[in-house]
Amino acid sequence: MGRKRRYYREDRRRPEYLEEDDWEDEDAPDDIDRSVRKTSWGLLAVLSFGLLLSIAQVLYVPSGPAVSGDAYRVVSVSRGRLQAEEIGTGKIVSLDDQNLVKAALDGTIKRGDVIHR
Helix (H, G, I), strand (E, B) or coil at 71: strand
Q: Domain-by-domain residue ranges, the chain?
A: 25-59, 71-116
Query: Which pLDDT tens digit goes with each residue over 25-38?
Result: 555 667 778 888 88
Query: Would you state the pLDDT for residue 65?
Result: 59
Query: What digits encode the pLDDT tens for the residues 59-110?
Result: 988 776 555 568 899 999 988 899 999 988 889 999 898 999 999 999 999 9
What b/e string do you get for 1-37 counting C-beta neighbours within 10 Å, with b at 16 or more?
A: eeeeeeeeeeeeeeeeeeeeeeeeeeeeeeeeeeeee
Residue 2 pLDDT greater than 80, yes or no: no
Q: Is 73 helix (H, G, I), strand (E, B) or coil?
A: strand
